[in-house]
A and B are shown apart, each in its own frame.
Chain A
Amino acid sequence: MSNKNEWPLWEVFIRSKAGLDHKHVGSLHAADAEMAIENARDVYTRRMEGVSIWVVESKNIIASDPKQSDSLYEPAADKVYRHPTFYNLPDEVKYM
C-alpha cells in the first residue's frame, strides 16, 4: 500500500443551472484534470445537479487565514453609509 502514489486532490465547483454561479461542492482525487471532470460528473451530478463543472487542484487554492479575520473584515463594520437604508428620504419619493 503506497502512500506516495496517491492521486492529487481536486476541488469541485458546479453550476447548477445556466445563470447561476459555480459553487463549491466538495473534493475528489484524480490523476489529471480530465479525469477530475469525469469523476466530478459521477460523484457530484448523479441527479442532474449541474450543467457545468470546474475543477482546481487543491494545492492551487490560496485561502485567507481565519486568524486575520479582524483586520480583513472589521474595517467594513462601521461604514453603514454604504447601505441604502442609511439614508432618510421623504415618503413622497418613490422608486429610489
Chain B
Amino acid sequence: MSKWCFISTRKSLIEKRNITGAKCHYLCQQISATMSIQTQIDQFEQKIGSDITIEPKDWMPDDYRKTLIRQISQHAHSEIVGMLPEGNWITRAPSLRRKAVLLAKVQDEAGHGLYLYSAAETLGVSRDQLYDQLHSGVAKYSSIFNYPTLTWADIGAIGWLVDGAAIMNQVPLCRTSYGPYARAMVRVCKEESFHQRQGYEIMLTLSKGSDIQRKMAQDALNRWWWPSLMMFGPPDAESPNTEKSVRWKIKRFTNDELRQKFVDVTVEQAKILGLTVPDKDLQWNEETGHYEFGTPNWAEFKNVVAGNGPCNKQRLETRKQAWEKGQWVRDAAMAHAEKRKNRKKAA
C-alpha cells in the first residue's frame, strides 16, 4: 500500500531530503501504519458516540481493553468473594425458608461471577490468569466483603444495603459499551432484585420483633451503612479512571452521582423499618430535592483496599484454599474426559 498510496510523499521525500528509496519505503510504511491506527480510533470513537456496542472481535484501543479487563474481573472477583460473608450463615439460618433463600442467593452470586469471568475472557485474558491475579492479591474486589458478618441481621443488611448499592451500580452497566459485559449485566440485574428484597424482608421482620431483635437490626445498619456508601468508590475528584470510563461509556454515571441516588432511596426505606441511619449530618434539602449527608471515612476505605480490613487475609486465604484443594478434582475430571475420549476413539 505504501508504494503507490504515498507516491507523492515518496517523491517529495526523496527530492527534498535526499533520502534513499529503501529508507523512504520504511517511512511511508510508518506513515501508513499511523494513519490506519488513527482511522481505527476514529471509527471506534464514532461507534461509542452513536451508541453502537463494541464486540469482542472489533478493533478497540489497548487502554479500553485494559480498563474493561480490570473492571469486569474486579466485578467477577467481588461476586465470588462476596459469597464468603454470607456463606458464613447458611448453616445457621433461623428457618428452613431462610436457609433455602440464602442458599439460592449465594448460588446466584457464584453464577454472576461466572457470567462475568466469561465476559472478561472474550477480551483475551484466560480464566487461570484471572484467578492468579485474585489469589496473588494483584486484583482487587469490592472492599465491603472484608467486613465480618457478626449476627443474622447482617445477612439482612447485606441484602438490603450491599445488594441495593450493587444494583444502583449495575443497572446502568446493562447499557455499557462492551457487548458481552452489557449482556452479562442484564442477566445479573434480573436476578439481583430478589437479593435486595430478601434482605429487606429480614430487616423488616427483625425491626418488628422483640427489643433485642430491633437492636440487632439497628446495630447491623450502623455497621454496614458507611461501607455501603464507600462501595461507589472514591469521590469523583479523586477517581482517576472515572472521566475516561464515562467518555467510553463503560460507566454511565459517576461515583458521586450513584452514591447520592443510593442515599436518597435508602433513607426512605430505613424510615419504613423504623431504623435510624447513623449519620448526624443527614438532612433533606428542599431546594435540591436530595439528601445531604456526611463524608465517609475515606482513610478507612483506603486502608481496607490496601489489605488491612478486618477480614482481608481470611477472605483471600479461604479463596486460595478452595482453589488449591479443588486442584485434584479439576485434574481428575480432565483425566476422566481424556480417558473417555480415547476409549471412544478405540471403539
Contact = CB atoms under 8 A, between A and B. Distances in A.
Contacts of B271: none
**Best-buried of B191, B323, B324, B330 by chain A (most CB within 10 Å):** B330
Interface stretch (B111-119, B161-169, B204-212, B310-318): B111-119
A5 interface: yes
Contact of B334 (A5, A43, A47): A5
A66 B58 contact: yes
Interface string B54-97: 01011100000000000000000000000000000000000000
A91 interface: no
B200 to A, nearest CB: 20
Interface residues on A, range: 20 to 34
B135 A1 contact: yes
A42 B341 CA distance: 24
A49 B187 CA distance: 11
Contacts of A35: 333, 337
Interface residues of B, number: 37
A34 B108 CA distance: 22
B227 to A, nearest CB: 28
Interface stretch (B4-12, B122-130, B277-285, B298-306): B122-130
B132 interface: yes
A51 interface: no
B57 A47 contact: no
Contacts, number: 66
A26 B121 contact: no
B61 to A, nearest CB: 15
Interface in A1-34: 1-3, 5-7, 9, 25-29, 31-32
B333 A28 contact: no
A93 interface: no
Given A5-B334, A7-B334, A43 B111 contact: yes
Given A9-B121, A26-B115, A46 B132 contact: no
B253 interface: no
A74 interface: no
Contacts of A78: none
A94 B121 CA distance: 53
B286 to A, nearest CB: 43
Contact of A7 (B122, B333, B340): B333
B136 to A, nearest CB: 9
A92 interface: no
Interface string B313-347: 00000000001100100110110110011000000
A63 B59 CA distance: 15
Given A6-B126, A31-B336, A65-B57, 13 more contacts: A1-B128, A1-B131, A1-B324, A2-B128, A5-B331, A9-B121, A26-B118, A27-B122, A31-B334, A32-B333, A46-B107, A63-B57, A66-B55
Interface of A: 1-3, 5-7, 9, 25-29, 31-32, 35, 42-43, 46-47, 63, 65-67
Q: Across the A-B interface, give the 10 residue pairs with the lowest CB-CB distance, nearest first.
A: A32-B337, A31-B333, A31-B337, A27-B118, A3-B128, A6-B128, A66-B58, A31-B334, A66-B57, A43-B114
